[in-house]
Homo-oligomer: A and B are copies of this chain.
Amino acid sequence: MLKLSRLLPSISGSSPRLLEPLSFTKHDPRDSAAFSTATNNKYAAKGYTSNRIFAPYSVYKGKAAFSLSPCLPTFTKLDSGAVVVDRRGSMMMIFMHSIGERKYDWENKQRFALSATEVGSLISMGPQDSCEFFHDPSMLSSNAGQVRKSLSIKPHASSNGYFVSLTVVNNLLNTKDYLSVPVTTAEFAVMKTACSFALPHIMGWDRMTHQSGGTVGLQSKVEPPALDLEWDK
**What residues of chain A have their CB less than 8 Å away from a CB belonging to chain B?**
1-7, 9, 12-20, 22, 32, 34-38, 43-44, 46-55, 57, 69-90, 92, 110-121, 123-124, 129-140, 145, 148-149, 184-190, 193-194, 196-201, 203-218, 220-233
The answer to whether B121 touches A44 (Cβ under 8 A) is no
Alpha-carbon gap, A89 to B209, bound state (A): 11
In-complex Cβ contact of A17 among B1, B87, B207, B223 (8 A): B87
Chain B hits for A233, CB < 8 A: 110-111, 137
Chain B hits for A218, CB < 8 A: 75-77, 83
The answer to whether B207 touches A53 (Cβ under 8 A) is yes
In the complex formed, the residue of B with least CB distance to A137 is B231
Q: Chain B's nearest CB lies how many Å from the CB of A62?
A: 17
The answer to whether B200 touches A37 (Cβ under 8 A) is no
Contact A120/B193 with A6-B135, A16-B114 known, Cβ cut-off 8 Å: yes
- Not counting A54-B84, A71-B228, A137-B231, a sample of 11 additional A-B residue pairs whose C-beta atoms are within 8 angstroms of each other reads A4-B121, A4-B132, A7-B134, A18-B86, A53-B83, A53-B204, A53-B208, A70-B205, A76-B221, A77-B218, A193-B200
Chain B hits for A213, CB < 8 A: 216-217
Alpha-carbon gap, A208 to B47, bound state (A): 18
Contact A113/B230 with A72-B220, A88-B16, A193-B200 known, Cβ cut-off 8 Å: yes
The answer to whether B18 touches A87 (Cβ under 8 A) is yes
Chain B hits for A36, CB < 8 A: 78, 80-82, 84
